[in-house]
Amino acid sequence: MATKEDFYKLLNVDRNASDAEIKKSYRTMAMKFHPDRNADNPEAAEVKFKQIKEAYEILSDPKKRSAYDQFGHAGVDPSMGGGRSGAEGFGDIFGDVFGDIFGGGGGRQRGGAQRGSDLRYNLEISLEEAVAGTETKIRIPVLVGCGECKGSGAKKGSSPIICTTCHGHGQVRMQQGFFSVQQACPTCRGTGKQIKDPCGKCNGQGRVQETKTLSAKIPAGVDTGDRIRLSGEGEAGERGAPSGDLYIEIRVRDHDIFTRDGANLYCEVPINFTTACLGDVIQVPTLDGEVKLTIPPETQSGKSFRLRGKGVKQVRGGPVGDLLCKVKIETPVQLTKEQKALIAQLGESLSSGGKQHSPQEHSWIDGVKTFFDKLTG
């Protein structure tokens, strides 16, 4: 009998690796040796793929990992009453790996076929689409029920038979000395049925991979991190079992003008020196179009103005948010000699007025003087 490779080496982790490190390495190795990614030698890749999955099944289970650490492969060998049988079909491994990456589907019920894995689709939309809602088409690669055998896995005109190992129970009992362990039947993998004449299209798996186009309705008010569940649009279950779900995870693209915080929107509005000093009525953008904003005289840079009801109505309800416009006074550039002279004349006039024209500046200067007086006092 060939010596099995060390499970830790298979997953390329240390023996004291954490659960998170083992899971991360498993995903990387499984993707690397997936037969679809190794078209030059898919048979060898499939063997390696199954070895990696077997190693992960043992090391991700605390009890099995402890037994393996103490007794090696003998501690998890099914023939010795140890862990789970490694005689699994490639279709199951495929579903387990991608189900784990995308959030996982429901488990296998005792004596029954396994529910299909849930899937996740990352959808990027604009801020306008997030606020108003939209409908879009998405395309996803997914395992669907085989149309040839209607998901049974058996060749057309035939049917699965009762498993000859577990007699339809889906479970077998292994006896080792005083210990008795009940586990999933290694022949039928817990389904209670065998396929003697497998379907030629799906090779007895009951599922085939296709690219499916779906229409997704995105409700108004969604934000980055929100998830939309499409029931039954995940992977098909094994041999007629229920399908998993598809979760659409939203990411809202950065906007050129607005930023969002919950129900409120924020934007920065540049105004010129004259408007800041004398006041004016300006046009500012909102997601519904331009509106008028009154800038009062002597407005300071950084002041925010609130436009009520011009924000977002969140998907979970509540009042519509506001738009907060923060003004930024723009310093004139590329001045002519005449303009510079006028500004210098204005500066002299303002300086002659003392503190009344620039109270913040003088208050800051007084604070600095007090600070240095304390240092030297």
Dist CA 17 CA 279 (whole Å): 65
Helices (H), 60-103: 62-71, 90-101
Catalogue the E-assigned strands of 159-206.
161-162, 171-176, 179-184, 193-194
Indicate if the pLDDT at residue 92 is higher than 50: no
Residue 109: its pLDDT value, please? 45
Domain ranges of the chain: 1-86, 259-352
Q: How far apart are CA 316 and CA 253, in angstroms?
A: 20
CATH number of 259-352: 2.60.260.20
Q: Whole-angstrom Cα distance, residue 307 to residue 358?
A: 28
10 Å Cβ neighbour count for 377?
Answer: 5
SS3 of 48, please? helix
- The two structure tokens encoding residue 38: 């190794």
Q: Hey, how many other C-beta atoms are within 10 angstroms of the C-beta on 28?
A: 13
22-34 per-position pLDDT tens digit:
988 898 888 888 8
Percentage above 70 pLDDT, the chain? 86
Name the residue among 98, 129, 322, 122 with its Cα closest to residue 219: 129
The whole-chain average pLDDT of the chain stands at 82
CB distance 250 to 123 below 8 Å: yes
Instruction: Return the top range by mean pLDDT from 37-46, 185-194, 302-311.
Output: 302-311
Separation of alpha carbons 118 and 102, rounded Å: 7
- Indicate the pLDDT class of residue 105, thresholds 50, 70 and 90: very low
Reply yes or no on domain 1-86 having CATH 1.10.287.110. Answer: yes
Quick one: pLDDT at residue 366?
76
88 in Cβ contact with 191 (< 8 Å): no
Higher-pLDDT residue of 87 and 137 is: 137
pLDDT at 64: 87
Task: List alpha helices for 159-317, DSSP H.
Answer: 273-278
